[in-house]
Amino acid sequence: MIGHALTAGYAVLMGAVTGSLLPLALEFPFEWHYIRSIIRVSLHVSLVAVTLSTLCSIPVALLIGFKEFRGKTLVTSLINTGMGFPSVVVGLVVLFAVSNEGPLGTFDLVFTPEAMIMSQFVLAAPVITGVTLAAVSSVDQNVRDAAFAMGGTRIDVALVTIKEARYGIATAVLAGFGRAISEVGSVLIVGGNITGPEGISQTRTLTTAIQLEARQGRFQTAMLLGAVLVVLVLLVNALVIRLGNGGGRYR
Partner 1 sequence: MTLSATELCHGYDGDPVFDGVSLSVTPGEVVTIIGPSGVGKSTLLRLLALFDAPDDGTITVDGVDVWAASDQRRLEYRRRIGMVFQEASLFDASVRRNVEYGVRVRQSWADRLRTALSSLSRRGNGDSNVVEALETVGLHERADRDATSLSGGQAQRVAFARALAYEPDVLLLDEPTSDLDPRNTAVIEDAVLAATERDIGVVVATHDMHQAERIGDRVAVLLGNEIIEVGPTEPIFESPSDDRTRKFIDGELIY
- Give the Cα separation of 241 and 249 in Å (integer): 13
Q: Which parts of 37-76 interact with partner 1 (CB under 8 A)?
A: none
CB of 152: closest distance to partner 1 in angstroms?
Answer: 5
Q: For partner 1, which is the closer residue by CB, 143 or 240?
A: 143
Q: For partner 1, which is the closer residue by CB, 114 or 156?
A: 156
Q: What is the DSSP string of 89-122?
A: HHHHHHHHHHSTTSTTGGG--TTSHHHHHHHHHH
Binding status of residue 242 toward partner 1 by CB under 8 A? no
CB of 243: closest distance to partner 1 in angstroms?
Answer: 13
- Give the Cα separation of 204 and 21 in Å (integer): 14
With beta carbons less than 8 A apart as the criterion, state whether 132 and 61 touch.
Answer: yes
- Give the Cα separation of 222 and 179 in Å (integer): 20
Using CB under 8 A as the criterion, what x/- string covers residues 111-150 for binding partner 1? -----------------------------x-xx-xxxxxx
For the packed helices 113-137 and 87-98, what is the interaxial angle rounded to 10 degrees? 130
With beta carbons less than 8 A apart as the criterion, state whether 38 and 204 touch.
Answer: yes
C-alpha distances in angstroms, 155 versus 17, 152, 239?
A: 56, 8, 28
With beta carbons less than 8 A apart as the criterion, state whether 127 and 172 touch.
Answer: yes
Give the number of residues in contact with partner 1, rule: CB under 8 A. 18
CB of 248: closest distance to partner 1 in angstroms?
Answer: 8
Binding status of residue 156 toward partner 1 by CB under 8 A? yes
Q: For partner 1, which is the closer residue by CB, 160 or 209?
A: 160
Among 7, 153, 220, 245, indicate the residue that binds partner 1 (CB under 8 A): 153
Cα 109 off chain centre by = 17
CB of 74: closest distance to partner 1 in angstroms?
Answer: 23
Neighbours of 163 (CB within 10 A): 14
CB of 175: closest distance to partner 1 in angstroms?
Answer: 21
Among 82, 105, 152, 244, indicate the residue that binds partner 1 (CB under 8 A): 152
Using CB under 8 A as the criterion, what x/- string covers residues 157-176 for binding partner 1? ---x--xx------------
Q: For partner 1, which is the closer residue by CB, 44 or 166?
A: 166
- Give the Cα separation of 115 and 94 in Å (integer): 7
Binding status of residue 251 toward partner 1 by CB under 8 A? yes
Q: For partner 1, which is the closer residue by CB, 44 or 163?
A: 163
With beta carbons less than 8 A apart as the criterion, state whether 86 and 165 touch.
Answer: no
Q: For partner 1, which is the closer residue by CB, 94 or 157?
A: 157
Residues in touch with partner 1 (CB under 8 A): 140, 142-143, 145-153, 156, 160, 163-164, 250-251
